Amino acid sequence: MVKKQNICLVASAGGHLSQLLRLKECWSEKEIFFISTTEVVRTQLSQFGKVYIVGESNREHPGRVLRVWWRCVRIILRERPQVVISTGAAVGCMACFLGKLCRAKVIWIDSITNVERLSLSGRMVRYIADLFLVQWPELAKQYNKVEYTGAVI
């Protein structure tokens, strides 16, 4: 039996998540699960599939980053996704690296707000991404392995 693709969709709540949700048709008939950052979005996401909420984290709070990292480790080990798709930010970066360690393919869509250069997370994920999309054409010229196919927002 061919195993269905299990896709991990990960984004911080807010702008990152709304950009990811604009790409619904990519995963509408696949097995999916979400990782996001606040309980507020749980109901909205649960109509599409399983939802894991890991809490907020950013560079300013190393303790929280560790907690979110650990939660992501447990989720990725349990779910073993074949693909991780993310629009950012920190939590997306973590899930992409963890997914890669478990041999998942990584798709990154850098957020529209990164106009002049890639996001910090994007600059890290670029080294391991299998498909890396940006939403401004100039960025695709500026970096290797980066594609522009359009803006989603």
Partner 1 sequence: MIFLTVGTQFPFDRLVRVVDEALGLKSFSEEVFGQIGESSYKPHNFEAVKHLEKKQYDRIFQEAAGIISHAGMGTITMALKQQKPILVLPRRKMYGEVVNDHQLEIARRFASLKHLLMAEEPEELAEKLNILTDFKPNTRETQVQAVQERICQFLQTLP
CB of 54 to partner 1, least distance (A): 17
84 neighbors 94 (Cβ within 8 angstroms): no
Residues 6+ apart with CB under 8 A from 33: 6, 7, 8, 9, 49, 50, 51, 52, 75, 79, 81
Out of 6, 23, 65, 123, which residue is the one contacting partner 1 (CB under 8 A)?
23
Residue 126 binds to partner 1 (criterion: CB under 8 A): no
How many C-beta neighbours within 10 Å does residue 145 have? 11
Residue 60 binds to partner 1 (criterion: CB under 8 A): yes
The token duo for 136 is 């401004």
Residues in a beta bridge with 88:
11
Comparison of 42 and 58: residue with beta carbon closer to partner 1:
58
Residue 6 binds to partner 1 (criterion: CB under 8 A): no
Residue 53 binds to partner 1 (criterion: CB under 8 A): no
Question: Applying CB under 8 A, which residues contact partner 1?
Answer: 5, 14-15, 18-19, 22-23, 25-26, 30, 58-60, 82-83, 85, 105, 107, 109, 111-116, 119-120, 130-131, 133, 136, 147, 149-153
